[in-house]
Amino acid sequence: FLGGWKMGNTIDGCQADYVKIPAAMANLAPIPDELSDEDVLLTTDIFSTGLSGAESADIKVGDIVAVFGQGPIGLGATAGAKLKGASLIIGVDTVASRMKMAKQMGADIVIDFKKSDPVKEILGITRGRGVDVAIEAIGLQTTFENAVKSTKVGGTVSTLGVYAAEMANIGIPNKDFGFGIADKNIVSTLCPGGKERMRRLMELVRNERVNLRQLITHRFTLDEIDDAYELFMSQGDGVIKVAITP
């Protein structure tokens, strides 16, 4: 289902003192001398995944884009939408630290979904037209439906969220899908990798087109990893992303 065995894909992660990488010369990209590990740490997963949501949606220059969820992946998608040339980016979340970071990553407007209906807000902003692209970066039925509802006729919904295994089906709101004839596209993607992609993403960092280091809000040692996971799960203390050092 996930495309076969890959390093770090459900098994063989890198949270250890030492890691052996198969065919390392072919699979690893050198970090530019002027960049630190933390500068590029999130290119390998978080940013590559978020950017792929913008890429698979084929965002065009001038598109209006909504990104549902401003966690690490959603923030990567927000940055990706900006890099792809979106004219207006609307972020949706409710956590104050993430809403603030969304602005720093490229969002022009951020909607707190606990204070107002994001679909109504988005349709109001777009004068009833809807966005060209909606990126769903949470993995909930509600946010998926909201993404469909917010998208224009002929628009694209790009899903990055991982939906719970307990969900037997992901429902599409029929009316908002135009009863099947609204020409709305739904696409999904999994984190692209590879030596050449990592080189390209690190070039974006090196040339200051994107700042990923600012997403790392907390740091723990490997011995403190349980505390790191507890903090991230609780979303306390303004946490966005945690770095683990040996």
pLDDT at site 20: 81
Alpha-carbon distance 110 to 162, whole Å? 22
Alpha-carbon distance 201 to 152, whole Å? 30
pTM, 2 dp? 0.91
Nearest to 73 by CA among 157, 136, 140: 136
Tens digits of pLDDT across the chain (246 residues): 444 455 555 556 778 888 887 778 877 899 999 999 999 999 999 999 999 999 999 999 999 999 999 999 999 999 999 999 999 999 999 999 999 999 999 999 999 999 999 999 999 999 999 999 999 999 999 999 999 999 999 999 999 988 888 888 999 999 999 999 999 999 998 888 889 999 999 999 999 999 999 999 999 999 999 999 999 999 899 999 999 998
CB 159 within 8 A of CB 188: yes
pLDDT at site 2: 45
pLDDT at site 128: 98
pLDDT at site 7: 53
Judging by beta carbons within 10 Å of its beta carbon (0-12, 13-18, 19+), is residue 112 exposed, middle or buried? Answer: middle
Alpha-carbon distance 83 to 100, whole Å? 19
What are the φ/ψ torsions at residue 140 (nearest 5 degrees)?
A: -120, 150
Q: Indicate the DSSP class of residue 30.
A: P
Question: With left for phi above 0 and alpha for psi between -120 and 50, is residue 86 left, alpha or beta?
Answer: beta
Alpha-carbon distance 26 to 195, whole Å? 7
pLDDT at site 201: 98
pLDDT at site 12: 63
Joined tokens for residue 235: 């979303």
Alpha-carbon distance 5 to 11, whole Å? 8
Complete domains list, the chain, with CATH: 46-188 (3.40.50.720), 215-246 (no CATH)
